Amino acid sequence: MQIFDCLQQTDSATLMEASAQVSQSGSWGTFAFLPVTDGIFIQERPSKALMEGKVNVLNHVAGANALESAAWVPPIIDTAEDLVHYLEDTFPMLSNNDIAKLLYYYKIDNASTDPDAPLWATAGDSGPTTFNQSSAYTGQQQRAVAIYGETTFICPSYWLAEAYSDNVYTGGKGWKNQFSIPPAWHGNDDGAYFQYPDSVTYYSEDFVYAFEKMIGNVVLHDDPSLSSEIINGITLGNDTYNPASEWPQYTMYDPQMMNFNTTCPQTINRGGLEYCVGPNEINTFRLVAGFEWEGGRGLRCDFWKMMGELVPG
């Protein structure tokens, strides 16, 4: 019997159980069944296709969260040696020289994680960076989170924005943003998009309105830009000019992105993480230099482009 015929004739519960067992046999945070570059349906690495501007639609808003991969990295990395072992398992095609270069791009001074170090979100363009500081981890553990987060989630959002802006094939446009309300884990922005029943617990009415308006503006006007009144907070009735209202495309010659954040008047603890919560949060949206963000993220994303053949995706 052919494999495909067998799969078609097998009940879904059996297939789900088999999938779960195979996936759990792999490395922490990985999935066994993912799209692959087969040369037919997916003809080349997505990262390579994006570098060549091969996209199908006109406009795109590329977003990422500040702490994307904290849940994808095993919480057992205390020393630099632990980190190297993790990198060897996660990126098996990298040579020792490649890993040494990778550690240089994500260089930190502290040798191990202090379990008592205070946890707080970085500003992005001042003070400590995501290399060894966040609202979830510090030290080598956070260093691993930064590495995996950028190669897997964050840098692809940069490449998408670059691919769409001034695209020679489609004439399209691209914008870039980051969701930064702590803890800003992967998926924390969903409540602002979809307004779950408890969304207002975590995000203010002003933030949710602005975030959804951004998406609506792309659909209706081919531009995610928001008015000063919406950025300042629609319930405040303040239409004083806000520089963030002039949201430009993300381009290589002007790589600006929008940082979506709010004040943090109070927090709640959920699953060991401190969440900034509404409804009294005040929007603090601002345009920032995407290439220099978090200690020069643009250059690190260029590094991951160069490593594409060794880290397919």
Domain positions in the chain are 1-34, 46-306
Q: Is 59 helix (H, G, I), strand (E, B) or coil?
A: strand
What is the pLDDT averaged over residues 299-309? 93
The per-residue pLDDT for 2 is 83
Q: pLDDT band for position 37 (50/70/90)?
A: confident
| Mean predicted lDDT score pLDDT of the chain | 89
pLDDT at 283 over 70: yes
The Cα–Cα gap between 307 and 239 comes to 46
Q: pLDDT band for position 157 (50/70/90)?
A: very high
Cα–Cα distance list, 313 to 175, 199, 241 (Å): 21, 33, 41
Residue whose tokens read 């979100």: 121
- With contact defined as beta carbons under 8 Å apart, do 165 and 53 qualify? no
The Cα–Cα gap between 33 and 235 comes to 46
Q: pLDDT band for position 197 (50/70/90)?
A: low
What is the pLDDT averaged over residues 62-76? 93
Percent of the chain with pLDDT over 90: 63
pLDDT at 83 over 90: yes
The pTM score is 0.90
pLDDT at 193 over 60: yes
Q: Is 176 helix (H, G, I), strand (E, B) or coil?
A: strand
pLDDT at 28 over 80: no
- With contact defined as beta carbons under 8 Å apart, do 55 and 47 qualify? no
pLDDT 10s digits, 5-26 = 888 899 999 988 988 888 877 7
β-strand pairing of 173-179 with 59-65: parallel
Q: Is 258 helix (H, G, I), strand (E, B) or coil?
A: strand
Q: Is 237 helix (H, G, I), strand (E, B) or coil?
A: coil
Q: Residue type at 44? A: E
The per-residue pLDDT for 20 is 84
Q: Which CATH architecture has domain 46-306?
A: 3-Layer(aba) Sandwich (3.40)
pLDDT 10s digits, 109-152 = 766 667 678 899 999 999 999 999 999 999 999 999 999 999 99
The per-residue pLDDT for 40 is 83
